[in-house]
Amino acid sequence: MDQSLIIESTDVVLRPYRLDDVEAIYDLTQEAAAVEFLPDWNVSKFQRREWLVHYETPENDRFIAAVAAGAKSATFG
C-alpha cells in the first residue's frame, strides 16, 4: 500500500489504514459509545480484518491512485 498520502498536524496524523491497525480498530469499535451509535460495527475481529483487507484498503489505494493521477473528484465504492 502506498503511504504517500499522510496528513500531519500538531495533534493528529491521518494516513491510510494498514493491516496492523486491525487490533486498534477492533478495540475502538468495541467501546460502549461505538456500539451504541454504530451497532453494525460490533463484529468479530475476523470480520473487522476482512473488512479492512477486502474493502477499506482497496478503496484507500484507489483514492490515492486517483489523487496521484490528478483527479479533482472521484466516486468510489
| Residue 23: all three cell numbers together | 487490533
1 and 60 in contact (C-beta within 8 Å)? yes
| pLDDT for position 31 | 95
| Residue 69: all three cell numbers together | 493521477
Alpha carbon distance 73, 20 (integer Å): 29
Cα angle 51, 31, 47; round to 5: 20
| pLDDT for position 1 | 44
pLDDT mean values, one per 10 residues, the chain (77 residues) = 74 90 95 94 95 92 84 62
Q: How far separated are the first and last CA of the chain, in Å rounded?
A: 18
